Structure 1
Amino acid sequence: MKPFNVRVYGLLVEQNQMLIIREPFAGMIIDKFPGGGLEYGEGLIDCLKREFIEELNLEIEVLAHFYTQDYFLASRFDENEQILMIYYKVRAIDISKLKVLDQDIQELIWVDLDELASENLTLETDQLVVEMLLNSSNII
Structure 2
Amino acid sequence: MNRFNVRVYGILLNDKQEVLISDEREYGIEFSKFPGGGLEFGEGLIEGLQREFMEECQLEVDVIQHIHTTDRYLKSAFDDSQVIGVYYLVRSDGRLNCRIGKHPFDFDSDTEPNQVFRWMSIHQLDPETLTFEMDRIAWQAFLATMRP
TM tier relative to shorter chain: 0.7 to 0.9
Q: How does 1:26-65 map onto structure 2 within 5 Å?
A: 26-65=27-66
Q: Which residue of structure 1 aligns with residue 12 of structure 2?
A: 12
The equivalent of 1:70 in structure 2 is 71
Query: How big is the shift at 1:43?
Result: 0.3
Contact 2:98-2:116 at 8 Å conserved across structures: no
SS of aligned partner of 1:93: coil
TM-score, normalised via structure 2 length: 0.82
Q: Helix, strand or coil for the counterpart of 1:18?
A: strand
Q: Deviation at 1:8?
A: 0.2
State the Cα distance separating 1:68 from its structure 2 match. 0.1
Aligned residues: 134
Q: For residue 105 of structure 1, report the CA deviation from its aligned partner.
A: 4.2
Query: TM-score, normalising length from structure 1?
Result: 0.86
Q: State whether structure 2 residue 91 is matched by structure 1 residue 91.
A: yes
Taking every aligned residue pair, what percent have the same amino acid on both sides?
A: 42
Instruction: Establish whether residue 119 from structure 1 lines up as the match of residue 118 from structure 2.
Output: no
Shift of 1:88: 0.4
Over 3 Å counting, the alpha-carbon distance change for 1:131 and 1:97 in structure 2 is closer
Report the aligned-residue RMSD: 1.8
String of CA shifts for 1:98-138, please: whole Å, max 9, x gaps.
Answer: 325xx844321101122122022111111112222233336
Give a deviation string over 1:16-68, Cα, whole Å, max 9, x none.
Answer: 11000100145311110000000010000000000000111000001111100
Q: Residue 91 of structure 2 aligns to which amino acid in structure 1? A: R
* 2:13 match: secondary structure: strand
Shift of 1:82: 1.3
3-state SS of paired residue (1:119): helix
